[in-house]
């Protein structure tokens, strides 16, 4: 049986942090998130290019749950700065989702196209200056200033916060690497996985994680970006503290990407999308690694200042996926059982909250994650046909 890595005291403190977060979220953060999403929806409707407009609206309307969840990090912030942090987090998540959608359909040079598109991340952190043309290598170009407006909103919100200069270096590093991982992941369809493997193998985390886990963590590290935006609201934030949060969140980001791949396995098998989980040689290996990643994620965040809130954020990110309808069949529950054992009892409160939240929304919630493809028709297919050594060879040889 897996060893529980959090003590009773830590779990109790995390439960209190969850209660406080909910008390703050619903009356102060949630209404602001909804207002911002409505505003971005109106802005997206005015995008001149029909293809870009379609991507923007699909992401906003099908994946708004992701933004609502990301904004829970604003509950760490004092009320006087909570609005600025919420706006910045919403804009950053909307920008990430939009770039994720359009970079899945790159131009002739997918690496050049993706890198140029994701320059919007870096430009969002520059205190002033125009946005470098993100569509230089992209088939579509006219977004009516949509991406520039998102970047400006992140920039204005971030640089209104007292510790923005302190967190900016760590935030820039996180977002630049996130963009590179996303670019290389979306380039697999044309260039194969070798270029992603080579890049991931050179990252510092490759000393303790599999290369595919490194790539998964980097691609989803916008979550660490949200945490850093929230940290910028605290005048006491230090450079070392910001770097520590970025590092600690990495394993959680890897775990959430793998869970997204797990829940999306059926659709990925039909559409040919890149399945991160297929890099494990067997279901047994995948099960073992998911449990170890869950344990490492807890170890990483419980050493941070304000650890109870970071613990419940980590548990909430995992519960977000485990509460999805696609996570409930017997095959997937076998793979996620070690995660639940490792995170017990941290998982119980957020699982209950997300189950109620999904039920209240009365809408299909198909694995809305860091490498999301929107709502798709799913054909049931045995998970073993995806997580097998044969599947690994297909992915490696593509």
- List, in order, residues 6 or more apart from 92 with CB less than 8 Å away: 70, 124, 150, 154, 222, 225, 226, 229
Distance CA 85, CA 77 (A): 8
Cα three-residue angle 276-387-4, rounded to 5 degrees: 80
- List, in order, residues 6 or more apart from 21 with CB less than 8 Å away: 72, 75, 309, 312
pLDDT for residue 205: 97
Distance CA 175, CA 205 (A): 16
pTM over 0.95: no
Compute CA distances 164 → 119, 156, 203, 248, 256, whole Å.
19, 11, 26, 20, 27
Entry field: residues in the chain: 398
pLDDT along the chain (398 residues), means of 10: 52 84 94 98 98 98 90 95 98 98 95 95 80 90 95 96 97 97 96 97 98 98 97 97 97 96 71 80 96 96 90 91 89 94 90 84 46 35 35 38
Helices 307-322, 239-263: axis angle to 10 degrees equals 10
Q: To 10 degrees, the CA torsion angle through 252, 257, 262, 263?
A: 100
pLDDT for residue 233: 98
Q: Name which of 183, 220, 223, 250 is nearest 89 in CA terms.
A: 223
Compute CA distances 23 → 51, 68, 72, 209, 357, whole Å.
40, 15, 11, 37, 15
138-157 CB burial, b ≥16 within 10 A, e <16: bebeebbebbbbbbebbbeb
The pLDDT tens digits for 144-192 are 999 999 999 999 999 999 999 999 999 999 999 999 999 999 999 999 9
Query: What number of CA atoms fall less than 13 Å from residue 102's CA on the CB side?
Result: 33
Q: Name which of 21, 12, 61 is nearest 316 in CA terms.
A: 21
pLDDT for residue 1: 39
Q: Name which of 236, 190, 191, 198 is nearest 215 in CA terms.
A: 198
Task: Assign 64 to helix, strand or coil.
Answer: helix
Q: What does the block give as tokens for 21?
A: 């977060």
- The per-residue DSSP string of 308-347 comes to HHHHHHHHHHHHHHHTSGGG-SHHHHHHHHHHHHHHTTTT
The residue assigned the tokens 């559409």 is 271
**Nearest 5°: phi and psi at 234?**
-100, 115
pLDDT for residue 5: 45
The CATH number of the structural domain formed by 12-359 is 1.10.600
- Specify the long-range contacts of residues 378-383, CB closer than 8 Å, at least 24 apart: 378/266, 378/267, 378/270, 378/326, 379/266, 379/267, 379/269, 379/270, 380/266, 381/265, 381/266, 381/269, 381/270, 382/331, 383/262, 383/265, 383/283, 383/331, 383/332, 383/335
Distance CA 6, CA 12 (A): 10
374 in Cβ contact with 59 (< 8 Å): yes
């Amino acid at each position: 049986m897996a060893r529980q890595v959090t003590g009773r005291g830590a779990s109790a403190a995390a439960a209190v942090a969850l209660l406080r977060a909910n008390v703050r979220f619903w009356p102060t953060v949630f209404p602001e998130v909804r207002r911002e999403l409505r505003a971005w929806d109106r802005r997206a409707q005015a995008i001149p290019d029909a293809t870009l407009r379609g991507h923007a609206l699909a992401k906003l309307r099908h994946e708004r749950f992701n933004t609502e969840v990301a904004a829970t990090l604003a509950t760490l912030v004092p009320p006087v700065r909570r609005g600025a942090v919420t706006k910045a987090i919403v804009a950053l998540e909307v920008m990430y989702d939009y770039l994720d959608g359009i970079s899945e359909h790159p131009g002739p040079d997918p690496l050049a196209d993706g890198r140029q598109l994701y320059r919007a991340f870096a430009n969002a952190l520059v205190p002033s200056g125009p946005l470098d043309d993100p569509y230089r290598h992209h088939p579509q170009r006219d977004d009516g200033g949509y991406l520039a407006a998102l970047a400006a909103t992140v920039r204005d919100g971030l640089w209104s916060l007292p510790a923005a200069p302190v967190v900016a270096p760590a935030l820039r590093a996180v977002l630049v690497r996130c963009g590179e991982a996303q670019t290389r992941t979306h380039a697999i369809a044309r260039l194969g996985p070798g270029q992603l493997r080579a890049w991931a193998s050179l990252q510092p985390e490759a000393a303790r994680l599999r290369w595919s886990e490194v790539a998964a963590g980097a691609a989803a590290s916008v979550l660490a970006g949200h945490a850093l935006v929230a940290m910028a609201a605290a005048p006491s934030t230090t450079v070392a503290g910001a770097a520590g949060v970025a590092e600690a969140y990495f394993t959680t980001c890897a775990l959430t990407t793998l869970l997204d791949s797990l829940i999306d396995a059926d659709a990925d098998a039909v559409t040919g999308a890149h399945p991160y989980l297929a890099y494990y040689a067997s279901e047994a290996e995948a099960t073992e690694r998911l449990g170890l990643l869950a344990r490492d994620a807890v170890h990483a965040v419980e050493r941070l200042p304000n650890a109870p809130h970071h613990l419940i954020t980590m548990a909430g990110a995992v519960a977000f996926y485990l509460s999805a309808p696609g996570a409930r069949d017997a095959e997937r529950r076998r793979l996620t059982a070690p995660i639940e054992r490792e995170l017990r009892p941290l998982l119980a409160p957020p699982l209950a909250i997300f189950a109620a939240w999904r039920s209240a929304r009365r809408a299909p919630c198909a694995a809305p994650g860091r490498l999301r493809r929107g709502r798709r028709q799913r054909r049931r297919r045995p998970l073993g046909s995806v997580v097998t050594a044969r599947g690994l060879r297909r992915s490696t040889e593509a």
